[in-house]
Amino acid sequence: MNNPPSFSPVFPRHAIERCAASVVLGPAVPEKAFERIASRAADRLSSQGFQSQPIQALSFQVNADGSVASTPTPAGGPRVFSLPDQVTTFTVAPDHLSWATHTYVRWQPFVGAVERYLLPVLSDMLEIVSVAGVRLEYWDRFVWSGTWADFDVRQLIRSDCPYLAPEGVRQSRQWHSHSGWFTKEGDFRRLTNINVDVVDVTHDPALQGRPSVGIYSSLMDQPNIVDYGSTPPAALDEAFMIERLEHHHLALKDILGHIIIDQMANRIELNARKAR
């Protein structure tokens, strides 16, 4: 007897396809200073096994006669480094730093990597600029074992989820719901984004795709926003970034728990351990 169709996380133990931690800088690091910091970071990361990834950038200008001509790409653009497996990347840009991985296992190894690789670069930049925001992002995916003919998103998504468009949850085929809002979190302005996309997914172009539900969730805290509160510049240091990320990952666990049903939350052990 065949089992009825159901949802499964994209991986056996969890549903996280990607996770990224970022720090936004304000203002952007000046060009000459950035080139110096990026060069120092490249040397350090190379000794730690990272490879610099080429970035193709094109710049154009429209001439007075309406013709379009290419122009030299401005210096000071982002640098991207990755480990040999190409699934973990570190982006160093004048206005932000971002650590992202497609091989998320647990929270402590992830945030530990942020501390080891990202914070030294942030330390150099904080001699010139300040932290303008800290963001944590998760991309979760759940795959339906059946087809669109028997697809039932209510076997994964709560029918009363406050973050989603009610009409979308009632659909039996593809749909998406994107939302975002600002709230006051202590002395910070917090931006929450929740995107749910119900689409076909396949890892082999030769095979027919399966229905899936992708859930993107992110939080970004911004200090020193008018009418939200103030934070002394000296407090916006490396420890501040890690503290915000720790708050974010617990809050995002809670948000996901308000999106998916209890059975799936238990299956991926969302509430069984402190860090997901």
CA distances from 183 to 47, 105, 134, 174, 225 (A): 42, 30, 15, 30, 12
> For 107-116, what is the mean pLDDT?
97
- What percentage of the chain exceeds 90 in pLDDT? 77
CA 50 to CA 89: how far, in whole Å?
9
Residue-wise pLDDT tens digits, 151-198: 999 999 998 899 998 887 888 889 999 999 999 999 999 999 999 999
Report pTM.
0.89
What's 260's DSSP letter? B
The mean pLDDT of the chain is 90
- pLDDT score recorded for residue 57: 52
Q: Minimum mean pLDDT among 70-74, 150-154, 201-205, 219-223: which range?
A: 70-74
Confidence of residue 275 (pLDDT cuts 50, 70, 90): very low
- pLDDT score recorded for residue 140: 98
Domain ranges, ordered by start, for the chain: 7-53+72-267
Residues in a beta bridge with 197: 176, 214
Residue 60 has pLDDT above 80, yes or no: no
Structure tokens at 208: 């027919």
> For 241-254, what is the mean pLDDT?
98
Residue-wise pLDDT tens digits, 114-128: 999 999 999 999 999
3-state DSSP of 82-103 = ECCCCCEEEEEECCEEEEEECC
